[in-house]
Each structure stands twice: as structure tokens, then as C-alpha cells.
Amino acid sequence: MSNEPNEQAGPAAARAKWVTCCFAVFALLGIARSYHRLDIAWPQIIFYWLLVWNDFYSIGYFSSFLPPNKISQRLIDGGLLIAHVLLVFCFSTPLYFQSLMALLFSQATLKYAYELPWVVSPERLYRKIKIDALGTVGCVVAIIGMLFGYVRLVAIAWTVLFAAASVYVILLRPLYLDTRKGVPDSRRYAGKDYPG
């Protein structure tokens, strides 16, 4: 497998920085909005920052070889953006926050599942889909636990689990390659007719 430079790697890295900076600003606005309820909001705030950390690497890696500017992907990305914005208004309402997170994870699962037929050797894409699907399941379990009255306990436990999973996926067993070195040819977008 070669590591030839990928022409999309530079723009993908720039896009990752720009998008995560925007999400960070949203997070700060959300913290300011929920400042009077930090005793309830802090697990959701930490969860959101972990999400932004994941977003940085995910956008930087997958945008470097998935085909850009497709209508279907733009629609899904728009939905993901809206979910990110709405999350900051739910820091002090854990149940609503986890409901939106379940929606976000399920949207991300669909986004990458849609790309499977069009990517050569999609091993990492499969892994990303499994991770996002597990995130959806985790959020649903968290919602059920909260509905049974264990709101604070579930919020803290799920945040700790998500933190551990993030460290594993980003640092211990990296899912995302360093796009500054280019994306291996076998990970690139296949030369097929892509439906918009």
C-alpha cells in the first residue's frame, strides 16, 4: 500500500480545523447559557468537548478521500451541523441532550454506510460505521436509564465510557490516519459513477 499524497488532504485538514473551531465556539456559548446549572450540565459539556475532539480527526481523515460536494452528503452534513448546534442548548437537560446525540450518531452511521459501495478497501469505513452504531445504541440505553430516573448516574457513566472510547479510537488504536502524509491508494474513493 503506497502513501502517495492525496490532493484532498490539505483542504480536509483545513476544513477539520474550521469546523471544530466553530463547534468549540458553540460549546462556549452553551456553557455560558447553562452556567447557572453547571451541577447538572457538566457531564454533557464534557461529552460535547469529547465529540468535538472526535470530529476533528474524523472530518480531517474521511474528508480527505470521500468525494466532496455531493448533494446527498451535503444534506446529511447539514443535519449533523444542526444537531451539533442544538446540542449546546441542551447541556442542562440530559435527556434531550442524549436524544440529540442518538440522532447525531444514527445520522453519522447512515452517512458512512452510504459511502461503502463507492470506496475501495473500506475497512476503516466499516470500523467507523460500527463505532457510530455503537454510539447510537449507547445513547438509546442512556435514554432508557434516564427515563427510569437515573439521570445523573447515567449521564456521568456514559460520559466516562465515551471518554474511554475516544481515547481508544484516537490514541490507543487509531482509526484516523494522519492526512498530512496522504491517504493510501486503497483507501481512496473508487473510480465509479457516484450518485449525487
**Contact at 8 Å (CB) between 66 and 73?**
yes
- Give me the tens of pLDDT residue by residue for the chain, a chain 196 residues long: 333 335 555 677 888 899 999 999 999 999 999 988 999 999 999 999 999 999 999 988 888 877 666 777 788 889 999 999 999 999 999 999 999 999 999 999 999 998 887 776 688 899 999 999 999 999 999 999 999 999 999 999 999 999 999 999 999 999 986 544 444 333 444 444 444 4
Where exactly are the structural domains of the chain?
A: 9-187
